[in-house]
Amino acid sequence: MSGFHALVPAAGFGARMGQELPKQYLPIAGKPMIAHALDTLCACPDIATVFVVLSPGDTQFRTYDWSRYGEKLQPLFCGGATRAESVANGLLASELDADDWVLVHDAARPCLTRAHLARLIAELRDDAVGGILAVPVADTLKRADARQRIEHTEPREGLWQAQTPQMFRAGLLAEALARGRNVTDEASAVEALGFQPKLVEGDSSNFKVTYPQDVVLAELLLKQKLPDNHAVSQPFC
């Protein structure tokens, strides 16, 4: 019987944050950013293992005490130059069965909740392809020209903003990434094989921390969460 596993690519630096510390370790609400996502993933009873894919030269990860997660958390120091390479390397190092489900989640999405995970797994566990958390586009979208002037307005009907986790069978995802490493998310690689991943509606709270101002919003949301949204509530060190 296939199992469920999470994979968190965390080998990047996050240059747009303008910080010396890699983005995944920036403190948010008393913890390194990545710890909030790990809290939620490790607390999910369906998920057997949470793999964190780190740069081979990462020296920061070992400065924290991760023992609270037990053996469920497995660091893999095999990250690549891109997200796609890190995920592909992590799949190879994890030695999962081809039929196992893998939920790939951004380390920079700290506001993931147990409800998000439960909805994604419930809707996709029997799906033939897999899919992603996403939200319908609500804002009006403008296409810019080379002068940064509006060229035209893009119709937003049917448009969704991709989030993570993105959930696919390990074998399918490994094949997709082997054929196309120049992708920004796992769904794009699977789409290139001719499949149509399912869109599972999430909400805007599961946003990606990209710019310094996003840290403030993430802290506000995390401090408002109920204690049982996370597996660990004690101070992190």
Q: What are the tens digits of pLDDT across the range 66-92?
A: 999 999 999 999 999 999 999 999 999
Select from 97, 93, 117 the least CA-distant residue to 39: 117
In the block, tokens 């310094």 appear at: 212
In the block, tokens 């506001």 appear at: 111
pLDDT digits (tens, 9 = 90+) for 162-181: 999 999 999 999 999 999 77
Select from 2, 110, 76, 87 the least CA-distant residue to 46: 2
User: How is residue 121 written in tokens?
Assistant: 């797994």
77 phi, psi to nearest 5 deg: -90, 65
User: How is residue 169 written in tokens?
Assistant: 């069978």
Residues 6+ apart with CB under 8 A from 145: 151
Alpha helices in the chain (DSSP H): 33-43, 83-94, 114-124, 170-179, 186-192, 212-224
pLDDT at 232: 43
Q: Quick one: pLDDT band at residue 235, thresholds 50, 70, 90?
A: low
pLDDT at 146: 96
Hey, where are the domains in the chain?
Answer: 4-229
Contact 141, 153 (CB under 8 A): yes
216-221-227-228 Cα dihedral, nearest 10 degrees: -130
pLDDT at 194: 97
Residue 125 DSSP label: T
Amino acid at position 143, single letter? R
The Cα-based distances of 126 to 101, 183, 196 in angstroms read 11, 26, 15
Contact 104, 9 (CB under 8 A): yes
Q: Quick one: pLDDT band at residue 236, thresholds 50, 70, 90?
A: low
Residue 227 DSSP label: G
What is the arithmetic mean of pLDDT over 123-133?
Answer: 98
How far apart CA 218 and CA 196 sit, in angstroms, is: 31
How far apart CA 229 and CA 237 sit, in angstroms, is: 20
CATH for 4-229?
Answer: 3.90.550.10
Residues 6+ apart with CB under 8 A from 45: none
Q: Indicate whether this model's pTM tops 0.85.
A: yes
The pairing of strands 31-32 and 47-54 is unpaired
